[in-house]
Structure formats: structure tokens, C-alpha cells
Amino acid sequence: MSFQPNTSQNKEYKIRLEKSFTDQKPGTSGLRKSTRQFQQTHYLESFIESIFRTLPGVKGGILVLGGDGRFGNRKAIDVILRMAAAHGVSKVITTVDGILSTPAASNLIRSRNAIGAIILSASHNSGGVNGDFGVKVNGPNGGPASESLTDEIYSCTKNLDEYKILESQNIRIDSIGKYFISSMTVEVIDGVEDYIHLLQNIFDFDQIRSLLNNNFPIAFDALNAVTGPYAKRLFEDLLGASKGTVRNGKPLEDFGGCHPDPNLTYAKELADLLLLGEAYAFGAACDGDGDRNMILGKGCFVNPSDSLAVLAANAECVPAYSNGLLGVARSMPTSSAVDVVAKDLGINCYETPTGWKFFGNLLDSGQITLCGEESFGTGSNHVREKDGLWAVLYWLQVLANKQCSVEKLMLAHWSKYGRHYYSRHDYEAISIEKANGLYTRLESLLPSLVGESFAGRLISHADNFAYTDPVDNSITSNQGLRILLNDGSRVILRLSGTGTKGATLRVYLESYVSSKGNLNQHPQEALSDLIDNIDYVAEISKRTGMKVPTVIT
Ligand code: G16
């Protein structure tokens, strides 16, 4: 490890702000805005100052810092290092070129006893000058900052008068080493190694290696984002997959113009390979910051809600979970497929609001082992973030253990538990006014809907979802409009907390068919009556002017 003391004067400046920014309210997952907004003078600094004033333990603490490599990553790291030094942070752990996936950051916080992390990512949103940038804040348990910390950070941004920063030479982070800015240490590590080590303690790599060596070709698409270096080390170097298995494996500032969201729309190239081609037995993709995953088999797309259920049902295949699961949790809009598995296993299943932070207390208190969201997020108690590559390895381990294809595994699962037909329809970039109008109108209608007929069934319950955390009893309300039908079907409407252009309306549709019913329908067909009815009741096309959703998952 090299040792290069920084010789600059490290003079501290207090920069006065004429006015504070009013639009720095973090959403579902940190502060996410267009890159151009972040380029405004003092914009990034103001939010970072609020974090440093609010996050417990900053003075003398260890901080993890990195990002998904999108445009602005390197520059933001430079600013944050100088601000961290001005705030008395004792050490910042970052990675070569600042490339750090969200789950790897979560692992570093936990293994290095850090006070938290600042992760520079707008996750699955597009990047580049014309794309988005974001700042995620994680706490000492490794997970996204709690609602209360996020609220405190936001209230700090509203009355900010100045921020502290050190003058310093540009800080080199292009190789492993230890540097100093004033009295603060900057430790630049490889970043990939710690994370791979974590996975090696969870999975049986030998078993996965023999699957991959036994006529089981796989394709992994990193979508030009952060998981490329991790995936190459994992699949090509350690698990014996052929060179070229990892596609789009170099993190690019604009993700090569792609949208780094692993779904059938934005990872179409990979989806076509698996769904239309014959060459691969398994395919997977991760998002910009590596916490989401999409799983595909030959001719078969695995719905993320089903994925969580399959992982829970087959936990005995994975060494780290072979003694059984403590419990499971899913976000409210995620389908109830995992509930059925939990019931069968005799374990608790919790329903939380959308956003990974709500799993934190359940994981920390040992009430759950696995959790997931319909938005391609699955994870476990190994870190406090969803973890894309972990999910891919979990699937490979189950397939290696069962010696079967993805399609066969899904059919076996539905034949045992029944099938939850599921789809999410997103209406993106609607005017905020129209979206709010639609939402508040439907909310006011909810009490009168109970007992009414809906898609040939009866509405048994309708509300705006509120959650009481079973650990700290905190209440989070206004988490989405739920219409529950008497046969277990559900339709849910939410407004996104991560979009940056206008509003995004998400409509979640779910219908259950028992193992004796028709398990082979196309989801859009199985859900067509729910789709038509919610359009009528919520006046979606009438009010948005959109005949079809922008993205169907
Ligand atoms: C979306 C998803 C949520 C997810 C959130 C953050 O939020 O619907 O399930 O928790 O993104 O995901 P990531 O950490 O990958 O950015 P929303 O509010 O847009 O629906």
C-alpha cells in the first residue's frame, strides 16, 4: 500500500449561501435530481453539508464513499472528501475511481464499523449530462437512512446559511493507497474483493462452478454500470464462466446511452437473447448501482415477486440459509406469492411500505432473513440493501442444487403454491397536477368503493396503506391506495418517489390462481379485467391522456 501525504495547505473555508435550496427533499431512495440540477453552484455541497450536520458520529467517525460511476461521480467524491475533512471525519474509505456498488457499500459500512455511507447514484435512472444524479445516505447498520434521519437532513437543507470545505489539491483515487487531507485519512481500496469474500461465505461456489462447467451457458448484462467489475471477477474469474459472459461490463459515465434498469423494456437485448434465442440457459442483469436484479431462463422471465417466493421456498439449497429462515418481508405492492410460501414454512411474513429502508428494523432485530420488492429488488440479512449479484448467485445455487431449468423450477413452484399473476404498469412523466388530481380523487372515493363490484368480484377493503413498524412502533402513512378484492386479488396505485420528470403513476395488479387453475396464461391476459376496471374507476387514460402505460413489467 502506498503512502502519499498530501502537501497542500488544506485551508478551511466557510462558504456563505445567499439562499438555501428548497427542492432537496429525499424521495424513496435519497436525493435524486437531474444532473443539471446537481450542477448548480452549491447544490451538491448544500445537501452534503446537511448530511454532515445531521448524521450521528461524523466527527472522528469513519465514512464509506463511492458511487456507480455515472457522470459527476468523480467530481462529487472530490467535493465530499474535502467537506468530510472540514467536518472532522477521521477516515473515508473509498474505492479505486470511486466505483462502489450499493450492496458492496452496505457491506463495507458493516465490516469496517463506519458511521454510514454516501453513495453517489440515481440507481436505475439514466445517467450522463442529460440524465440524473443522486445522493443516497446509509446509516451505521448499512441500510438506507431511516425516515426520521432523512426528515432531519431535509429540514437542515431548508435553513442552510453556509457550508464548510477544505481547499486541497485534487485527491488521487485511481489506485489503491492511503492518502491524507489535513488530519483525515483517505483509504482507497479495491472495492470488489471485500464483497466477493462476503458472497463466498454465503454460497457454495464449487457447486455453482460445476453447474456452469456442465453445459449451462449464462449471460449477464451489467448495462454499462457498476456491476461489470464485480461480475467479471465473480463469473469469469472465479466461477469458470466463459469470457464474454459479462456483457456491457465497463462502467460508463452515461451507461452508453442506456437506461440501467434491469427490466424487459430497458434490458431488451438480454431479454431477447433468452426469450427468443437458444444459446443461453440463464440470463441476469443488474441496475446502475447493483442492487436490483432481473432473472431470465430460456424462454422464461421470472417476475420479481415470484423470484422472492422461489428463493424463500428453496432456502435449504444455500449454505448460509440451510438452517431455515427467521421470517420474510415484502413491500406492500409486491405480490403475495411469498406469503403463501411463508405460511407453508410456518414463518412470519411482513408487509412494509415501498423502499428498502423499511426492512432495516426487521433485519436488525432478527425477525426476517429474506426480503424483497416487486421492483427487481431482493436481499437478505447479509447486508442492509437489496443485492443484485447475491440474487443471481442464489438462483444459480438453487438451479445447481435442483439440476433443473428456470422454467421447470417456476412450473414446479406454481404447481405447489398456485400462481400470483402480477404486473406493474407505469405512467411516466405525467404532469404533477394531473397525477395529484387523479390520486386524491381516487383516495376520496375509496370508502364508497367497499362492497362494490370490480372485475366480476367484490371490493372487500380499500384504503391508503399505513404501516406501523413492529420494532419501534413508528407510523408511516400515505403509502399507496389499495383496492382489495374478495378473491385475494389486489390493485394498488402509488406515485413514485424516485422519478425526476413530472410524476410517475404506478399501478400494481395481482390476481391469484390456485395450483389447480390455469397456470399458463400471459399475465396481461390474466389481469385484463383488473386493468380495464382500474382504468375506469381511477380515470387513468381520461385524466393522463395516455392510452397505454409507458412501461409494463
Ligand atoms: C422505486 C421502487 C421501489 C424501490 C425504489 C428505490 O421507488 O418502486 O420499490 O425501493 O425505487 O430503488 P433503488 O434503490 O433501486 O433506487 P418508487 O418510489 O419510484 O416507486
Q: Containing H/E element for 379?
A: strand 377-380
Q: Are residues 162 and 276 in the same domain?
A: no
Q: Are residues 251 and 398 in the same domain?
A: yes
Model confidence band, residue 409 (pLDDT cutoffs 50, 70, 90): very high
Q: Are residues 450 and 493 in the same domain?
A: yes
Pairing of strands 348-352, 327-331: parallel
Please calculate the CA angle 459-460-461 and round it to the nearest 5 degrees.
100
Query: Which pLDDT value is given to residue 9?
Result: 60
Question: Domain total for the chain?
Answer: 3
DSSP state of 540: H
Q: The domain spanning residue 445 has which CATH number?
A: 3.30.310.50
Q: Are residues 238 and 91 in the same domain?
A: no
Distance CA 531, CA 491 (A): 9
305 CB within 6 A, ligand 1? no
Tens-digit pLDDT profile for residues 23-36: 899 887 799 999 99
The reply to whether 317 falls in a domain is: yes
Q: Which residue has its alpha carbon closest to ligand 1 atom 11?
A: 498
Q: Which residue has its alpha carbon closest to ligand 1 atom 20?
A: 496
The reply to whether 2 falls in a domain is: no
In which domain, by residue range, is 63 found? 7-190
Tens-digit pLDDT profile for residues 428-450: 999 999 999 999 999 999 999 99
Instruction: Report the phi/psi class of residue 142: left, alpha or beta, with left for phi > 0 and alpha for psi in -120 to 50.
Output: left
354 CB within 6 A, ligand 1? yes
Q: Are residues 261 and 362 in the same domain?
A: yes
Q: Are residues 459 and 383 in the same domain?
A: no
Q: Catalytic pick from 46, 101, 123, 335?
A: 123
Q: Which residue has the cell 432456502?
A: 315
* CA 28 – ligand 1 centroid, Å: 6
CA 432 from centre of chain: 24
Residue where a domain terminates, one of 190, 216, 234: 190
Q: Report the residue among 354, 383, 387 best suited for mutation to probe ligand 1: largest number of ligand atoms under 8 A from its CB.
A: 354
Residue where a domain terminates, one of 367, 400, 417: 417
The reply to whether 233 falls in a domain is: yes
Q: Which residue has its alpha carbon closest to ligand 1 atom 12?
A: 29
Q: What's the predicted TM-score (pTM) here?
A: 0.93
Q: Percent of the chain beyond pLDDT 70?
A: 98
Q: Are residues 231 and 356 in the same domain?
A: yes
Whether 56 has a pLDDT exceeding 90, the answer reads yes
Distance CA 531, CA 541 (A): 11
498 CB within 6 A, ligand 1? yes
Q: Are residues 367 and 425 in the same domain?
A: no
Q: Are residues 467 and 445 in the same domain?
A: yes
Q: The domain spanning residue 170 has which CATH number?
A: 3.40.120.10
Q: What is the position in ligand 1's atom list of the atom closest to the CA of 144?
A: 14
The reply to whether 1 falls in a domain is: no
CA atoms 226, 227, 230, 232: torsion sign: negative
The reply to whether 483 falls in a domain is: yes
Model confidence band, residue 297 (pLDDT cutoffs 50, 70, 90): very high
* CA 124 – ligand 1 centroid, Å: 9
Q: Mean pLDDT, to the nearest integer, of 512-526?
A: 92
In sequence order, what DSSP letters do the residues of 63-77 get, joined into one string?
EEEEE---TTHHHHH
Tell me which of 5-9, 85-89, 418-422, 536-540 is least confident. Answer: 5-9
Q: Are residues 381 and 436 in the same domain?
A: no
106 CB within 6 A, ligand 1? no
* CA 416 – ligand 1 centroid, Å: 30
Q: What is the position in ligand 1's atom list of the atom closest to the CA of 125?
A: 16
Q: Tell me, yes or no, if 126 is annotated catalytic.
A: no
Q: Are residues 202 and 182 in the same domain?
A: no
Whether 6 has a pLDDT exceeding 70, the answer reads no
Q: Are residues 251 and 125 in the same domain?
A: no
Query: Which pLDDT value is given to residue 2?
Result: 33
Whether 66 has a pLDDT exceeding 70, the answer reads yes
The reply to whether 531 falls in a domain is: yes
**Which residues, other chains included, contact 167 with Cβ-Cβ below 8 Å and sequence gap of 6+?**
8, 9, 10, 11, 12, 13, 82
Q: Which residue has its alpha carbon closest to ligand 1 atom 2?
A: 375
482 CB within 6 A, ligand 1? no
Residue where a domain terminates, one of 375, 396, 417: 417
Q: What is the position in ligand 1's atom list of the atom closest to the CA of 506?
A: 20
Average of per-residue pLDDT values in the chain = 94
Q: What is the position in ligand 1's atom list of the atom closest to the CA of 136?
A: 14
496 CB within 6 A, ligand 1? yes
The reply to whether 254 falls in a domain is: yes
Query: Which pLDDT value is given to residue 5?
Result: 40
Q: What is the four-CA torsion angle of 311, 249, 234, 265, rounded to 10 degrees?
A: 10
* Cell numbers placing 302: 421470472
Tens-digit pLDDT profile for residues 174-211: 999 999 998 999 999 998 999 999 999 999 999 999 99
The reply to whether 441 falls in a domain is: yes
